[in-house]
Structure 1
Amino acid sequence: MISNHDANASIHQPDSYLNHIPAHVALIMDGNGRWAIKKGLDRSQGHAHGASKLREIVTKFGEYGVKYVTLYAFSTENWARPQNEVENILEILLTSINSELETLHQQGVKIIHLGDKTTLPEEISHAIAKSEQLTENNSKITLSVAFSYGGRSEIIQAIKNMVSEGIEAENVDEKTFERYLTTYGIPDPDIIVRTAGEMRLSNFLIWQSAYSEYYFTDVLWPDFGDEDVELVIKTFSSRNRRYGKS
């Protein structure tokens, strides 16, 4: 975890960090509800404000040269939340797609959905498919949205698909297995960022994060801004990634 002291110090590093930019940043966007409660608002307003930050943050990472951003928007476990909260989140997702899609497309953003589409309402599933189809040839930055996603269920589904295709055990290696993951074709995250002070993965990209760096911050997601993006970049630049080597 990066401490507040380390964060304050790291922002004064020279701009040489621009030579060491993560290709893939993954974000666990936590704290929408707590942000709303602190301000005396309904939790739904926290989710709405958090959603309104997405294009700003993705754009800012893109300005630094990050080529892949993955957002953990809704986990398989989140379906167990109160029904009215789930319905509100689904409505915000649909509104965000409809209002932001054309702008993201014009900015060269390629959109990919990670997760179980079969659990989604038809209207949302259709909107996601439309966004993927419209942006499939864009290449400036790839935005993967993990919605109704769980790392364990992704692994189980990959195994089921391999078995159904008759893959023999002796032919299974890491590269073969990765072809059956929803993230196939996307590099593993270089750094995983989690907001709101929580320090766990919560079933997010558990295969893909084997050698990822981690960045935990107390900042609530709706308050996450340009300076926080800069700190993520600078923190990554200070890490020595050995991949198990001495």
Structure 2
Amino acid sequence: MDGNRRWARERGVHEAAGHAAGVDAIRPIVERAQQRGVKILSVFAFSRENWQRARGEVDTLLSLLDAAIADYTPDLVRQGVRVQLLGRQDELATSTRESIEEALRATAAGSAMTLNVAFNYSGRCEIVDAARRCLADGLSIDQIDEDALASRLYTPQPSELDLLIRTGGDQRVSNFLLWQAAYAEFYFTDRYWPDFDPAAFDTALAEYARRSRRFGR
């Protein structure tokens, strides 16, 4: 979900307005994803590197998260969407962690689609944490293989990523789902995230459908 700040600057409004517009853009994409039969949708909301931004901007992002959880959770429950958090929850403030945990509990029975929200997330940290879980579970060196690591990632469901969509014009992964994206197809668009609407999502899916996936073969 890249380009919120640039979207705001080009319109001469405060960066907070860009982040708010970015939050608003999530809902229609989730709805369209359901309509298109997507079973797992992952969004990159806040990286561990984002803590290095200005304190005011970080506070804005955290308050937007709390507001989005309160506003959006009832709709997700009705839609049968299960929310999962990807990231280090233990590093978050107690109030934020409690809001997230409440959303996870409220949507736990959802079976129509899974919405993975990457918050305080790092792809490298996810792999490190999976390795630590292997050690904590008492696995020997010989027992630590791809399956052992994959089963201990933040994503408990099948973790292979089909399509990675990057908005905002940059063409890089930015430490997102590094393990899961091993054989993913990439789609880059110059559109900023607040302007990435269901029609743009459909365009990305159409491009994906035209590709022939070889999985390294």
Query: Given the two structures, how large is their TM-score scaled by the length of structure 2?
Result: 0.98
In structure 1, the partner of 2:162 is 190
* Offset of residue 141 of structure 1: 0.8
DSSP-derived class of the 2:98 partner: helix
Q: Whole-Å Cα distance in 2 between the matches of residues 226 and 151 of structure 1?
A: 27
Letter matched to residue 228 of structure 1 = A
Matches within 5 A, 1:43-192: 43-192=15-164
Q: Whole-Å Cα distance in 1 between the matches of residues 201 and 135 of structure 2?
A: 41
Q: Whole-Å Cα distance in 2 between the matches of residues 226 and 134 of structure 1?
A: 26
What RMSD in Å do the two structures reach over aligned CA positions? 0.9
Letter matched to residue 148 of structure 1 = N
* Offset of residue 220 of structure 1: 0.5
DSSP-derived class of the 1:47 partner: helix
* Offset of residue 164 of structure 1: 2.2
Q: Whole-Å Cα distance in 1 between the matches of residues 86 and 198 of structure 2?
A: 26
Letter matched to residue 26 of structure 2 = L
Letter matched to residue 183 of structure 2 = Y
Letter matched to residue 153 of structure 1 = C
* Offset of residue 165 of structure 1: 2.2
* Offset of residue 187 of structure 1: 3.4
DSSP-derived class of the 1:148 partner: strand
Are 2:8 and 2:18, in contact at CA under 8 Å, matched by a contact in 1? yes
In structure 2, the partner of 1:211 is 183
Question: How many aligned residue pairs are there?
Answer: 217
Q: Whole-Å Cα distance in 2 between the matches of residues 179 and 64 of structure 1?
A: 27
Between 161-170 and 45-54, the greater mean CA deviation after superposition = 161-170
* Offset of residue 75 of structure 1: 0.4
Change over 3 Å in CA distance of 1:161–1:76 after alignment to 2: same
Q: Whole-Å Cα distance in 2 between the matches of residues 186 and 117 of structure 1?
A: 21
Q: Whole-Å Cα distance in 1 between the matches of residues 48 and 160 of structure 2?
A: 21
Matches within 5 A, 1:231-246: 231-245=203-217
Larger Rg: 1
Asked which structure has the greater RCO (Cα within 8 Å, sep 6+), the reply is 1
Q: Whole-Å Cα distance in 1 between the matches of residues 183 and 12 of structure 2?
A: 40
Instruction: Encode CA deviations 1:102-128: one digit per residue, 9 max, x unaligned.
Output: 011111110000000012111111111
DSSP-derived class of the 2:200 partner: helix
Q: Does 1:230 align with 2:199?
A: no
Letter matched to residue 63 of structure 2 = E
Query: 5+ unaligned residues in a row in structure 1: which ranges?
Result: 1-28
**Runs of 4 or more off by more than 6 Å in structure 1?**
none
Are 2:134 and 2:148, in contact at CA under 8 Å, matched by a contact in 1? no
* Offset of residue 70 of structure 1: 0.2
Q: Whole-Å Cα distance in 1 between the matches of residues 115 and 79 of structure 2?
A: 12
* Offset of residue 157 of structure 1: 1.3
Q: Whole-Å Cα distance in 1 between the matches of residues 115 and 71 of structure 2?
A: 16
Instruction: Encode CA deviations 1:198-244: one digit per residue, 9 max, x unaligned.
Output: 11110000011000000000000001112101111101100100112
Query: Given the two structures, how large is their TM-score scaled by the length of structure 1?
Result: 0.86
Letter matched to residue 196 of structure 1 = G
DSSP-derived class of the 2:164 partner: strand
Query: 5+ unaligned residues in a row in structure 2: which ranges?
Result: none
Letter matched to residue 209 of structure 1 = A
